[in-house]
Chains A and B, each alone.
Chain A
Amino acid sequence: MAIKVIKRRPLSFLEKTYIPQIIAGLHVTWQNMVRPPVTLQYPDERPTIPAGYRGVPTLVYDPNGREKCVSCQLCEFVCPPKAIRITPGEILETADNTHVEKAPKEFEINMLRCIYCGLCQEVCPEEAIWLQGQYSMTGTSRESMVNNKKRLYELGGTLPDSHYKWDKKKAEAEKQAEGHH
C-alpha cells in the first residue's frame, strides 16, 4: 500500500494569534448557553424507564393470580453475591394448585448484597423472578433493605404469561386419568 504523505499546512498569521479560534470557541459556548439545560432535577422529575430495564429483582404472579415461584432454589444457588435466601414450603392439599406441590414459605433478597446481575431471572425455569423497572432502593436500616416475600410480590405484581405450564400439566394429567377409564 502506497504511503500517502499529507502536507501539514503551516498556520496562517491569524491562526497564530489564536484570536479567531478563541472567538469560534466563544461562539460554541454561547450556543450551549442559550440551549435549554439537559439536567433532570431528580427527586422532582423522574427519568422514563425504558422497557426491559433491569432494576430491582421481584417475584411475580401469573395472570390467574398463582404465584409462579416453585422454590426450586436455582436462583439462590446461582446468585453470585448470595443475596437470595429461600425457605421452601409445601402447597396445601386443599389448594386448587396443589399439583404444583411447592411454593416458597419465605423468600428474601438482600438488596445490600444484590448486584443487579440478572442471573436469577436468567436461571429461573418458571419465569417467576424478574428484574423490573424500579431503579432506586433506599432504606433507613439494614433490615429494611432486605425484601421479604410479601414485599417482593408487591414490587413484582402480575406479568403476562405465554405458557401457563402448570395449567397445561393439570389438563394433561386429567386427560390421561380419563383415558384410563
Chain B
Amino acid sequence: MEQILNDLVLSTAWYYAMARGLIVIIILMSIAAYSVLLERKASAWIQGRIGPNRTSHPVVAWIPFVGNFLMKGGFIQPAADGLKFLFKEEPMPGHVRKFFYVLAPCVAIAPALISLVMLPFGQLPGGQIITLCPGADVGVLFMFAISSLGVYGIALAGWSANSKYPFLGAVRGSAQLISYELALGVSVLTVFLATASPDQDNALSLVSMVNAQTGAWNILYHPVAAIIFLICIFAEANRHPFDMPESETDLVGGFHTEYGAFKFGLFFVAEYSHMVIGSSLFILMFLGGWHILPWVPTVGTGIVATLLGLGSFFFKLFLFLFFFVWVRWTVPRFRYDQVMRIGWRVLLPVAVANLIAYFIFYAIKG
C-alpha cells in the first residue's frame, strides 16, 4: 500500500505520471464543479432562498436517507449542468473568426491546468511532497508565468467574437489582468525576502515556502502583502468585485457573450480553476499550506499525519472558495476606472512601499 502510494507520488515512469496527472485533474475538475454548486447554494442562502434542491437520479434517489440528502444538498446538480453543456448543440455564429473562436476556450483552460503541475498538496510520511512534478524548484515563478497566460484566452475570445460587447469585455479584462499582475508579483516578494536565504537552492519553490511556515504562518508576519495578494487573486480570477471581463449587467455576457454549449463550459471551468489555483497559492504562501494550525505543523505520525495534512489543505481550500463566493454576493462590482485606480494608484504603490519597508527592516536586522 505504502509502496504504491510512494510510487504514485514519486515515480517518474510514464504510467505513474499519467495516473498522477489524471487524479489531480479529476480532483481539480470536481472541485471546480462543486464550487459552482457552492456558489449557487451560498448565493441562495445569502438571498434568503434555498438553492438547487430538486436534481436527482433514480439510482441516487433509491439510496435511503443519503439519496434524499444528496438531492436536497444539490449534489447531483453539477453533473446535470456538466452533461447539459456537453450535450448541447454547438452553435457557430456566422460572424466570428472561426479558428480563433475555437482556439480561445482552449487557451483559457490550458494555463489553468498547466499551472496545476507545480501545486504541492501535502507531504508523505517520508517527507516527500505530493505534487505532480516532484523536485521542481521554480514553483511560484512558473505559476505566475503560466497563469498570466490566461489573459490570452479572454483577449482572443473577445476579439474573435467580432462583436462589440465581447470586445469591450476583453479589453477591460486584459487591462485589468495585466495591471493586477504587477501588484501581485511585488506583494509576494516580501514573503520570499523573509523565507528564502541567498545560499538556498530552491528559493522560489512553494514547498520551501510551506516548510518555512512550521511556526507562525506568513499571514501574521506579512499582513499587508497578504491583503494585496488576496485582492489581486480576486482580480486575476475575474471574480467580483473585479469581474470586468464579464460584467453581465453592462456587457451582456462579457467576453464569452458569443459562446455557448461546451465552449462556454470551458470558460466557466477555467474561471473556477483560476479560483482554485489562486486560493491554493494563497494557502501555500500565507496560510501554512498543509500545516494544521500555526505552531502546530502536524498532528499524528505516518500516514495519519499525511491524511490530516491533505485534509487541512483541502479544508482551507474549501473555506477560501467559500470566501470567494461570500465576497461575490456582498461587494458590488467596481467601475472600470475605479478598478484601474485601485490597481495602479493604491495596490502597486502600497506593495512597493511594503517591499521597501521589509528591505529596510531586514537590512537593519541583518
Q: Residues on A close to B: CB < 8 A?
A: 19, 22, 25-26, 28-30, 32-33, 35, 37-39, 41
Known interface pairs A37-B44, A37-B45; A29-B329 also in contact (CB < 8 Å): yes
B249 in contact (CB, < 8 A): no
Kindly report which residue of chain A lies nearest to residue B332, judged by CB atoms.
A25
Give the residue of A22, A28, A33 whose beta carbon is less than 8 angstroms from that of B45: A33
Given contacts A32-B48, A37-B50, A38-B48, contact A22 B330 (CB under 8 A): yes
- Complex alpha-carbon distance, A26 and B328, angstroms: 10
Please report which residues of chain B, range 326-360, place their CB below 8 angstroms from some CB of chain A when the two chains form the complex.
Answer: 326-327, 329-331
Smallest Cβ-Cβ distance to B241: which chain A residue: A22
Measured between beta carbons, the chain B residues less than 8 angstroms from A33 are 42, 45-46, 326
Could you list some 30 contacts between A and B, CB below 8 A? A19-B227, A22-B327, A22-B331, A25-B330, A25-B331, A26-B326, A26-B330, A28-B330, A29-B46, A29-B326, A29-B329, A29-B330, A30-B326, A32-B45, A32-B46, A32-B47, A32-B48, A33-B45, A33-B46, A33-B326, A35-B48, A37-B44, A37-B45, A37-B48, A37-B49, A37-B50, A38-B48, A38-B49, A39-B48, A39-B49
Taking the closest CB of chain B, its distance from the CB of A160, in whole angstroms, is: 39
Question: How many residues of B are in contact with the other chain, CB < 8 A?
Answer: 14
Q: Mark B37-80 against chain A: 1 for CB-CB distance below 8 A, else 0.
A: 00000101111111000000000000000000000000000000
* A residues in contact with B44, CB < 8 Å: 37
A-side contacts of B47, CB under 8 Å:
32
**In the bound complex, CA of A37 to CA of B329 (Å):** 16
Please report whether the interface of chain A is mostly helix, strand, loop or mixed according to DSSP.
Answer: helix
In the assembled complex, the CB of B224 is this many whole angstroms from the nearest CB of chain A, namely: 11
Q: Give the distance in Å from the alpha carbon of A4 to the alpha carbon of B330 in the complex.
A: 35
Interface residues of B in 230-273 (CB under 8 A from A): none
Min CB distance A47 to B, Å, is 16
A-B contact number at CB 8 A: 35
Residue of A nearest to B328 (CB): A29
* A residues less than 8 Å from B329 (CB atoms): 29
Query: How far does the alpha carbon of A25 sit from the alpha carbon of B45 in the complex, in Å?
Result: 15
Query: Distance in Å from the Cβ of A137 to the closest Cβ of chain B?
Result: 24
Tell me the complex Cα distance, A37–B41, Å: 11
Roughly how many angstroms separate A25 CA and B331 CA in the complex, as a whole number? 7
Asked whether, in the complex, the Cβ of B50 is within 8 Å of the Cβ of A39, the reply is yes
A-side contacts of B227, CB under 8 Å? 19
Rounded to whole Å, the gap between the CB of A37 and the closest CB of chain B is 5
B326: chain A residues at CB < 8 Å are 26, 29-30, 33
Q: Which residues of A contact B330 (CB under 8 A)?
A: 22, 25-26, 28-29
Closest chain-A Cβ to B329's Cβ sits at a distance in Å of: 6
Given contacts A29-B46, A38-B48, 11 further A-B contacts (CB under 8 A): A19-B227, A22-B327, A25-B330, A25-B331, A26-B326, A29-B326, A33-B46, A37-B44, A37-B45, A39-B48, A39-B50
Bound-state CA distance A32–B48 (Å) is 7
A32 to B46, CA, bound (A): 5
Provide the bound-state CA to CA distance between A22 and B331, in Å: 7
Q: Nearest 8 CB-CB pairs, A to B?
A: A33-B45, A38-B48, A25-B330, A29-B330, A39-B50, A29-B46, A37-B50, A39-B49
